[in-house]
Amino acid sequence: MPEQNQDLVEGNPLILSEQEKELVRRIGTTVNYPKGQIIFAADEVADRVYLIEKGWVKIYRLSSDGREVTVGSIRNPGEMMGLAETVYHGKRTCFAGAISRVTLVVVLKKDFFELLTHEHYLALKVAKLLAARMREAEAMVHELVCCQVPGRLALLLLKIGERCGIPEDEGVKIELRLTHEEIAGMIGTTRQTVTSLLNTFKREKSIEFQGREIKILDPEKLVSWIV
Amino acid sequence: MPEQNQDLVEGNPLILSEQEKELVRRIGTTVNYPKGQIIFAADEVADRVYLIEKGWVKIYRLSSDGREVTVGSIRNPGEMMGLAETVYHGKRTCFAGAISRVTLVVVLKKDFFELLTHEHYLALKVAKLLAARMREAEAMVHELVCCQVPGRLALLLLKIGERCGIPEDEGVKIELRLTHEEIAGMIGTTRQTVTSLLNTFKREKSIEFQGREIKILDPEKLVSWIV
DNA sequence: CAATTATTGTCGGCTACCTGACAATTGTTT
DNA sequence: AAACAATTGTCAGGTAGCCGACAATAATTG
């Protein structure tokens, strides 16, 4: 059972506290999705929000040539998703896909808004959450503009490691079984480039492969790729 | 006097309504900044938010080699700024610089939060605002990943035109007097590339220069650059 | 368990775009 | 008006990373 990096829960505005989760659970329905399932799609009406209980979800758009572009980051257990579009407008602009087997609490927009007006400190929490995501998105833009591909890949690995990595002897294991194609979509490059760079990182012993999982051995070395 | 595209005010979540602005004005102080002035800087304590009354502001970060990277879009009159960082954490992560002469209403965090709890529908407005910005940032990421430089420049011109362009006979004039360097920072490319592309656009009569201002003559042609 | 599909590894050519360098023009200061 | 600074225009390398193609594994399916 992957135990979350505990210091990230307290004070992390992205993750709901146990009480907050409880409030959401009370007005929602729990649902399971198998790996690979699409949870919502672009152009659908955004009439519900989700709380992730178990598993990971990727938020992506489709480019004109059909490639998946991960515009948000990966959403972890304890996070909400589908928030921005539900709070704001009518329609989804992106897709949400289950990276692993996922358990979600689904809450209808109407019920969610009612909760927000009653527990009105929650409205502030939502604002904080969106603010934190904003910052993340801005950081992403910054990286895309300033770093080249090796740096972006190194950064991605480090970020994923921090977010949902499992500390082990001699490194941090990333249990998400991302394909190189998925990784490429997250940092704006091609599959081939990801393959070759990961092998470069492996050769210099920054990372190691365990089956299809990646283990970060030397974060320092990865950092040095970030130009 | 640049009159805002009226249909963008109603229903545009980025721009405050007249009543909302009035509420903000009542608890804030009006200040003027000359063109070029830095309004806030990275690492400062984020203890205030701003309402833009007149002029335009760019939100940017500095890359390690000193280039300005515009991570948010340009902020227009009627918009708030400095919101995300004030709502969320302690410190600014980016800079705000006056593109033109600017008039702002400055509101202290404490007072702003008090307003939010009293006029609690305003908290929802803030959430909506941040949600809209999120979407914008995600669109930016998508563009950076999927479009090449000519497409990104075309898109930028079209977006600026829509946001703060002034419809004229035979086109839309962009009154912001952006330098090619500034434009480069907004789409992640170099100054030289911007210069040469703008001239390409001029040659095909998609745009025209009026002094240092740009006028969009043929949006269709610009769209066709977006691969 | 074989058969099929998905994922990874590798390589050569190609091109979009960056880098640096310098001249021409425009804007600003004294 | 002269002097200076900032912005724009242009051009010749150089290169990071894309594209296509194919082989080698690994994972799924019937």
pLDDT tens column, B181-192: 999 999 999 999
Q: Are B171 and B208 in contact (CB under 8 A)?
A: yes
Instruction: Report the mean per-residue pLDDT for chain B.
Output: 91
Nearest nucleotide (C1') to the CA of residue B191? Answer: D8
Q: What is the pLDDT of residue B4?
A: 45
| Cβ neighbours of residue A37 closer than 8 Å, sequence gap 6 or more | A97, A98, A102
Q: What is the pLDDT of residue A11?
A: 62
> Binning pLDDT at 50, 70 and 90, where does residue B2 land?
very low
Helices within chain B (DSSP H only): 18-27, 83-87, 109-118, 121-146, 149-164, 180-187, 191-203, 219-223
B210 touches strand C (CB under 7 A): no
For chain A, where are the E strands, in sequence order?
Answer: 29-33, 38-40, 48-54, 57-62, 68-75, 80-81, 95-98, 102-108, 165-168, 171-174, 207-210, 213-216
0.95 surpassed by pTM: no
> Binning pLDDT at 50, 70 and 90, where does residue B56 land?
very high
Burial of A156 (0-12, 13-18, 19+ CB in 10 A): buried
Token pair 């948010």: residue: B72
Distance B218 CA to D8 C1' (A): 23
Cβ of B93 within 8 Å of Cβ of A131? The answer is no
Nearest in space to B109 (alpha carbons), one of A131, A133, A16? A131
Cβ of A124 within 8 Å of Cβ of B116? The answer is yes
Which of A145, A146, A227 should one mutate to test binding to chain B, selecting the residue with the greatest count of B CBs within 10 A? A145
Cβ of A69 within 8 Å of Cβ of B142? The answer is yes
Residues of B in contact with A69 (CB under 8 A): 141-142, 145-146
Mean pLDDT, range B93-113, rounded to an integer: 95
Which of B75, B118, B141 should one mutate to test binding to chain A, selecting the residue with the greatest count of A CBs within 10 A? B141
- The whole-angstrom separation of Cα B71 and Cα B16 is 22
- The whole-angstrom separation of Cα A126 and Cα B92 is 20
Q: Which of A184-193, B120-129, B169-178 has the highest mean pLDDT?
A: A184-193
Q: Are B152 and B188 in contact (CB under 8 A)?
A: yes
The DSSP bridge partners found for residue A166 are A173
Mean pLDDT, range B23-30, rounded to an integer: 96
Which of B49, B64, B87 should one mutate to test binding to chain A, selecting the residue with the greatest count of A CBs within 10 A? B87
Residues of A in contact with B71 (CB under 8 A): 138-139, 141-142
Burial of A54 (0-12, 13-18, 19+ CB in 10 A): middle
- The whole-angstrom separation of Cα A64 and Cα B193 is 24
Burial of A136 (0-12, 13-18, 19+ CB in 10 A): middle
Give, for all 227 residues of chain A, the pLDDT tens digit: 444 444 445 567 789 999 999 999 999 999 999 988 999 999 999 999 999 999 999 999 999 888 999 998 899 999 999 999 999 878 999 999 999 999 999 999 999 999 988 887 888 889 999 999 999 999 999 999 999 999 999 999 999 999 889 999 889 999 999 999 999 999 999 999 999 999 999 999 999 999 889 999 999 999 999 98
Number of cross-chain residue pairs from A and B with Cβ atoms under 8 Å apart: 130
Residues of A in contact with B139 (CB under 8 A): 71, 93
- pLDDT at position B5 over 70: no
Cβ of B141 within 8 Å of Cβ of A140? The answer is yes
> Binning pLDDT at 50, 70 and 90, where does residue B169 land?
confident
Q: What is the pLDDT of residue A3?
A: 44
Q: What is the pLDDT of residue A141?
A: 97
- pLDDT at position B7 over 70: no
* Count of Cβ atoms closer than 10 Å to residue B188 Cβ: 19
Residues of B in contact with A64 (CB under 8 A): 146, 227
Cβ of A142 within 8 Å of Cβ of B69? The answer is yes
* Count of Cβ atoms closer than 10 Å to residue A116 Cβ: 20
- pLDDT at position B179 over 90: yes
Distance B56 CA to C21 C1' (A): 34
Cβ of A84 within 8 Å of Cβ of B131? The answer is yes
Q: Which of A127, A138, A145 sits opposite B144 (nearest CB)?
A: A145
**Residue percentage of chain B with pLDDT more than 90:** 81
Nearest in space to A186 (alpha carbons), one of A68, A66, A56, A42? A68
* Count of Cβ atoms closer than 10 Å to residue A75 Cβ: 23
Chain A closest CA to B71's CA: distance in Å? 5
Per-residue CA distances from B103 to B20, B33, B56 (Å)? 17, 6, 9
A191 touches strand C (CB under 7 A): yes
In b/e form, how buried is each residue of B193-210, taking b as 16+ CB within 10 angstroms? Answer: bbeebbeebeeeebbbee
Which B residues, 146 through 175, put their C-beta within 8 Å of a C-beta on chain A? 146
Residues of A in contact with B132 (CB under 8 A): 88-89
Q: Are B62 and B54 in contact (CB under 8 A)?
A: no
DSSP string, B163-210: HHEEEETTEEEE-----HHHHHHHHTS-HHHHHHHHHHHHHTTSEEEE
Per-residue CA distances from A202 to A13, A46, A160, A161, A210 (Å)? 34, 42, 17, 16, 11
DSSP-based three-state secondary structure for A88: coil
